[in-house]
């Protein structure tokens, strides 16, 4: 029997392990060369593994298993022949359905005839009426302690504990003197329909684990501060409204807000180069290039694809790059190289409705810009109160390398560039 091992390939310098996200083939399937066998998930990207040769597959690890680079996860028997009349490969076995949870018993059916209430007695509340009907109690046989002789829920609970039954109603004897009503007994509410309190566990994805590690690392190693400002989006919105159709027709991509902020960030990074650098030991590393990471939320977690050399790109090229990388990230096709090497990050929480937040650094970078929801607010302008579309901006930075003065001036630079978009064209 000629057997070919299916091994976990090396997918990046810093990647030491991966997790099996999904098997597309199952043990016993006949696979052809270059068929996709499974999808691996690393802490940075997902990778499809294909068959090197044709044959019958034997799976050695299940979905969710964490394996190291170079580990054997399956074998292909190349000596086996394709079964006659069988398709090239049988579909992967569907996961076995989990046992259905035990059905919750239906609540007792209340009798169609409501419990009788003695003449002259206070009417029963809906909760009390339901309890006496459910447990077949006689309301006239239960001492009432409520205001005006009203039967309370506590009275019914005490009667149940004391063994009250549905005996024949007795005519209460009026007291000779007004009796002082006792405080109703306090008891825990009884749910009408008992429910289940289920829970289940799922393994964290490799990407989620890596993101968690990096966030904790950033909090523990950097002196993170955040400064805020707000930007009037009137001019950008009017410019976008006026030219978005022509822009779409000429370049084949929508004119979004992110392109303006990336261009403004490049101008600010050139003016304050420390924000574009980071600390390496006892040295400060300056970068003469501007690779901007754009945070993208996917089903598997947050990823930050990098748009490289943004200072050399036009507005339409930036928009195309953002759409391209965002689509690849959401489809799980992003590669490790496309996620590494950024010098600064822009995150737009406003697309989810966030009004204000404090973004966390993306190590080893020294700063991250947070955009937020555009919201009309009253602002003072020229001595008058006017309504303008405003956006809060947040800049989180590493205070070990960036001083507060530089951080504030950096954010003001972005504000000025966005509020007057012509400055982006003139470079002033």
Question: How confident is the model over 66-123, as pLDDT tens digits?
Answer: 888 888 989 888 887 776 655 554 444 444 444 444 444 444 444 445 555 555 566 7
Phi, psi of 31 (to 5 degrees): -115, 150
d(CA 102, CA 105) in angstroms, rounded, equals 9
Average pLDDT over the chain, rounded to an integer: 82
Contacts of 411 (CB under 8 A, 6+ apart): 227, 228, 229, 268, 393, 395
What's the fold here for domain 207-426?
Chloramphenicol Acetyltransferase (3.30.559)
Catalytic residues: 399, 403
- 132 vs 62, which has greater pLDDT? 62
The average pLDDT across 363-390 equals 95
d(CA 312, CA 89) in angstroms, rounded, equals 48
Cα–Cα separations (whole angstroms), residue 101 to 98, 108, 194, 203: 9, 21, 14, 22
Strands (E), 353-415: 367-371, 374-381, 384-398
User: Residue ranges per domain, the chain?
Assistant: 3-77, 126-162, 207-426
What value, to the nearest 5°, has the Cα angle with vertex 106 and ends 103 and 108?
A: 155
pLDDT exceeds cutoff 60 at 168: no
Q: To 10 degrees, what angle do helices 234-251 and 404-419 make?
A: 60
d(CA 103, CA 196) in angstroms, rounded, equals 9
Q: Is the peptide bond between 364 and the residue preceding it cis, with omega within 30 degrees of 0?
A: yes
What's the fold here for domain 3-77?
OB fold (Dihydrolipoamide Acetyltransferase, E2P) (2.40.50)
The average pLDDT across 182-193 equals 68
Is this model's pTM higher than 0.85 or not?
Answer: no
Q: What is the pLDDT of residues 107-145, one digit of tens each?
A: 444 444 555 555 556 677 777 777 777 777 777 778 877
Alpha helices in 124-192 (DSSP H): 126-134, 153-162
DSSP strand pairing (374-381 vs 344-348):
unpaired
Cα–Cα separations (whole angstroms), residue 229 to 387, 389, 396: 18, 14, 12
Question: What per-residue confidence (pLDDT) applies to 255?
Answer: 92
Question: What per-residue confidence (pLDDT) applies to 169?
Answer: 45
Q: Give the three-state DSSP class for 292.
A: strand
Question: What per-residue confidence (pLDDT) applies to 112?
Answer: 46
d(CA 256, CA 350) in angstroms, rounded, equals 13
d(CA 233, CA 420) in angstroms, rounded, equals 9
The burial of 120, by beta-carbon neighbours within 10 Å (0-12 exposed, 13-18 middle, 19 or more buried), is given as exposed
Q: Which of 268, 295, 272, 262 is CA-nearest to residue 362? A: 295
Q: Which residues of 197-233 are buried (b: 16+ CB within 10 A; e: fewer)?
A: eeeeeeeebbbebbbeeeeeebeeebebeebeeebbb
If you compute the radius of gyration of the chain from its CA atoms, what whole number of angstroms results?
34
Question: What per-residue confidence (pLDDT) applies to 83?
Answer: 66
Question: What per-residue confidence (pLDDT) applies to 338?
Answer: 87
d(CA 243, CA 246) in angstroms, rounded, equals 5
Question: What per-residue confidence (pLDDT) applies to 282?
Answer: 92
pLDDT exceeds cutoff 50 at 178: yes
411 pLDDT band, cuts 50/70/90, is: very high
The CATH number of 126-162 is 4.10.320.10
């Amino acid at each position: 029997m000629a057997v070919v091992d299916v091994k976990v390939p090396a997918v990046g310098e810093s990647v030491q392990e991966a997790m099996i996200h999904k098997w597309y083939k199952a043990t016993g399937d006949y696979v052809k060369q270059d068929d996709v066998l499974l999808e691996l998930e690393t802490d940075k990207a997902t990778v499809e593994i294909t068959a090197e040769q044709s044959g019958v597959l034997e799976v050695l690890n299940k979905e969710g298993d964490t394996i190291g680079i170079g580990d054997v996860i399956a074998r292909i028997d190349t000596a086996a022949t394709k079964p006659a009349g069988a398709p090239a490969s049988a579909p992967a076995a569907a996961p076995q359905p989990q046992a259905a949870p035990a059905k919750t018993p239906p609540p007792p059916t209340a009798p169609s005839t409501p419990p009788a209430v003695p003449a002259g007695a206070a009417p029963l509340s809906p909760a009390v009426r339901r309890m006496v009907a459910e447990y077949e109690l006689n309301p006239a046989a239960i001492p009432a302690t409520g205001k005006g002789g009203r039967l309370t829920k506590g009275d019914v609970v005490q009667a149940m504990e004391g063994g009250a039954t549905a005996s024949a109603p007795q005519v209460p004897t009026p007291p000779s003197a007004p009796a002082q009503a006792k405080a109703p007994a306090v008891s825990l509410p009884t749910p009408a329909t008992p429910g289940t309190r289920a829970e289940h566990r799922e393994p964290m994805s490799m990407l989620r684990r890596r993101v968690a590690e990096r966030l904790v690392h950033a909090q523990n190693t950097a002196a993170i501060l955040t400064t805020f400002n707000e930007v009037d989006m009137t001019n950008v919105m009017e410019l976008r409204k006026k030219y978005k159709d022509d822009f779409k027709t000429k370049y084949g991509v929508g004119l979004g807000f992110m392109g303006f902020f990336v261009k403004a960030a490049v101008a600010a990074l050139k003016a304050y180069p420390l924000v574009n650098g980071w600390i390496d030991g006892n040295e400060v590393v300056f970068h003469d290039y501007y690779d901007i990471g754009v945070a993208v939320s996917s089903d598997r977690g947050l990823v930050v694809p990098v748009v490289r050399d943004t200072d050399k790109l036009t507005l339409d090229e930036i928009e195309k790059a953002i759409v391209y990388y965002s689509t690849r990230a959401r489809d799980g096709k992003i590669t490790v190289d496309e996620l590494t090497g950024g010098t600064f990050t822009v995150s737009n929480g406003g697309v989810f409705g966030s009004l204000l937040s404090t973004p966390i650094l993306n190590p080893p970078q020294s700063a991250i810009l947070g955009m937020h929801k555009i919201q009309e607010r009253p602002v003072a302008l020229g001595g008058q109160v006017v309504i303008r579309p405003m956006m809060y901006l947040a800049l989180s930075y590493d205070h070990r390398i960036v001083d507060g003065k530089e951080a504030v001036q950096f954010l003001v630079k972005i504000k000025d560039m966005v509020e007057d978009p012509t400055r982006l064209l003139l470079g002033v």
